[in-house]
Amino acid sequence: MIITPHIIATRARREVMACGCPVVSFGSDLMSFTKDMEAALSIKRQSVRVKAEVLFDPSRTAREFKSVIDGVAVQIKRIAS
């Protein structure tokens, strides 16, 4: 288990979750696996791993980046016209 003040999916958070370690975060984000240290001790490693696979799926990340790039390209074309 790690305890972190970070409220974003830092590299450390992603890596430990990929290894199945629960993340305890007291920030106000939705990525935190739990805010309860007692509960973190009883979480199964496999469930953390599965959650990491869903949250940090590379194809999902690629689609989100493509969406941003497409939006910027539209704005550039609009400005250039």
Amino acid at 73: A
Q: Token pair of 75, please?
A: 């704005």
Q: Taking the model in full, what pTM does it have? A: 0.59
Per-residue pLDDT of the chain (81 residues; tens, 9 = 90+): 888 887 778 888 889 889 988 888 776 454 455 667 777 777 888 888 898 888 888 898 899 999 999 999 999 999 998
CA dihedral 64, 40, 13, 59 (to 10 degrees): -30
Write out the E strands in the chain: 2-4, 23-25
> Rounded to 5 degrees, what are φ and ψ at 70?
-60, -40
Domain-wise residue ranges, the chain: 2-80
**In which residue are the tokens 């990929």 written?**
18
